[in-house]
A and B are shown apart, each in its own frame.
Chain A
Amino acid sequence: MSINNSLIIENLTKLYGYGLLGLKKFKVLDSISLNIDLEKPKIVVLAGETGSGKTTLLRVIMGVVKPDSGRVMYKGYDVHRLKGSMVRWYRREVQPIFQDPYETFNPLRRIDSYFRDTVRNICGIRNGDEIERRIDEALRFVGLSLDRISGKYPHEFSGGELQRISIARALLTNPKILLADEPVSMLDATLRVNILNILKYLKEKLNMVIIYVTHDLSTAYYIGDYIAVMYRGTLVEYGPTSKVYQEPKHPYTYALLESILEPDPALREKYPLIKPSALEIKEFLIYGCRYASRCPYAKDVCFRKLPPFIEIDGEYVRCWRYTNYKE
């Protein structure tokens, strides 16, 4: 893996203020490191509960949120220090797809105007025919065409179509990376699979890396080649999806995978009733492992020090259990 062809996230930390004046700080992202090489097409899933920092991480990668420390290196360039035409280059290389297709588009603007603007401003193409050819090509990938969208407003499309349109818009710039923030959570079950299948197809066809954020672990397995599990701002485990699902190393990943309900009534007796514990915002303020207060294996050190991110045969996990730390 070379630096010139990978996305490297180094020790990323982001603080958000809270309290009356926002003077008290907590770490939304805490020392996150992740290397994604861009040679082969793949889908990397960022999974975690609400408030685990997955969307913030995505925004930092996108370059719209600046980290407080650490950096994001794309093909050897620091994403947050790009200047002039390099910013536009990065916008071409990395494109987002958002969660709610109804909010992505301004209801008073025609859909095709978004496409024309993107091609003109970001790709720098001025020739009218060339623009139309480019738009049509992108739309064909998602099973639509320019004729079907031109002149229409967002309300004339269904949620599934709009989400396909917003994927097509992202494809206009021939990006290397697609950042997808829960693109199917607002869609109905029967339409959801279609979008997932499109993403899988695009990955292979266009040789892309897709970073896919979700809280739904069944979808994560269906779509993902690699999975990064986040908990309260830390990245607790990273590895190939099948490996992580078969033997989760971090106790949190294990608990999470055990909690997925399967859509099969025959399996319902498999799930024991579980007792709640008082979950606290305070977990963000702990210095050590965020999961320590709920972890069955917690030791003293877990509350005091953040565990290191260690590699165990191709997987990464942030847990004291896999170190030879002695009290």
Chain B
Amino acid sequence: MARDILIMNNLDGGYEVFIGGKRRVFVHAVDNVSLTLRDSEVLGIAGESGCGKSTLAKMIYGAIVPPLLVRSGSIFLYTRDGNVVELNRLSIEEVRKKIWWLEMSYIPQNSMNVLNPLKRIKDQFINVFKYHNMEMDKNEVMRHLKDILSSLSLPPEVINAYPHQLSGGMRQRVVIALSLLFNPRIVIADEPTTAVDVVTQRIILSLIREWRENSKSSLMLISHDMSVHAYMDDRVAVMYAGNIVEVGNVFDVFKEPLHPYTRALIESLIRKGDKTIRKGLAGQPPDLVNPPPGCRFHPRCPFAMDICRREEPPAVSLGKDRYVKCWLYASKR
């Protein structure tokens, strides 16, 4: 069995917001999340907008700037040279120099808009080299860059272009190339294909897949789009209102969703060439400032019982690699 390389224990955090400068409100976006990422696997994080997927990614990556606040929990990373580092104990400087780009890299949401608009593509790459104190001959850098770009099927002229001269799909590929520059072992991709059309989406996913097959790295893929998960993932974790409600092998989860929320989510998906009437869920996701007591899904759940309204359900292990956070399964143990 593949080794765990990133272990998250009881992560808990959210956003601290002050209303009118006085009243403190805590948006509890990630609530007691435990998850592991294994060597060379694709772990998908699925969930609707506002369920805490991106917050979880930021916490793992260590990009914690106010108002984001981590209240408790720990993240362990097995580095390339075999050491174990507790990520949340490191200072931001250490994380920047030793972890980011080298061990772990992050493809941000909206990645087509993260390039510096005033810098040519080649300078953006050179900056990254400089930051990591890599002395490289300029010609060598250029040659290396052209190799990278051609592997992404971008024409070599791109290195002299400014970001606005490229199309959205091209910029996205440049950002992906940047984040894979030092061949990191873990890549966290936050909605890498949301803002692009279907054809470009296929191209970008193909690219990530190809890279992963060659490099044997681990990928944490965050997306609200269940078809992306079906296409890419080995394992998938479904989030709802800050909780991970179900984790399992992607084939099992799609075939036999256990948690009532996952079931509703999968049933509401529209498939190509299918006109049968589908049903959605009534109600709306809860307010994270004031989440409902007990199970956060209970107001919308068709199977809600008394205990669901009072107590938070435990994570029940059902078979290999399968966890469900639901009272329906707690008794069967």
Contact = CB atoms under 8 A, between A and B. Distances in A.
Q: Do A and B come from one complex?
A: yes
Contact of B272 (A196, A245, A275): A245
A274 B226 contact: no
A24 interface: no
B49 interface: yes
A279 B170 contact: yes
Contact of B271 (A218, A256, A273, A281): A218
A215 to B, nearest CB: 6
Interface in A189-221: 189-194, 196-197, 200, 215, 217-219, 221
Contact of A222 (B152, B202, B264, B270): B270
A279 B153 CA distance: 11
Contacts of B228: 261
Interface stretch (B32-40, B77-85, B178-186, B206-214): B206-214
A273 B199 contact: no
Interface in B235-283: 250-251, 254-255, 264-266, 268-275, 277-282
A191 B265 CA distance: 10
B48 A190 contact: yes
Nearest to A158: B284
Contacts of A280: 167
Helix, strand, loop or mixed for chain A's interface? helix
Contacts, number: 141
A263 interface: yes
Interface in A261-316: 261-268, 271, 273-281
Contacts of A274: 202-203, 206
Given A193-B279, A278-B155, A263 B271 contact: yes
A49 B198 contact: yes
Contacts of B264: 190
A278 B226 CA distance: 28
Of the candidates A160, A263, A279, the one having the most CB atoms from chain B within 10 angstroms of its own CB is: A263
A101 to B, nearest CB: 12
Contacts of A160: 284
Contact of A275 (B153, B224, B277): B153
13 contacts: A50-B196, A189-B268, A190-B280, A192-B268, A259-B199, A262-B230, A263-B229, A263-B271, A264-B254, A268-B231, A273-B210, A275-B153, A278-B153
Interface of A: 49-50, 158-161, 188-194, 196-197, 200, 215, 217-219, 221-222, 245, 255-257, 259-268, 271, 273-281
The 9 tightest CB contacts between A and B, nearest first, are A49-B197, A158-B284, A193-B280, A188-B48, A261-B227, A273-B206, A190-B281, A194-B280, A276-B203
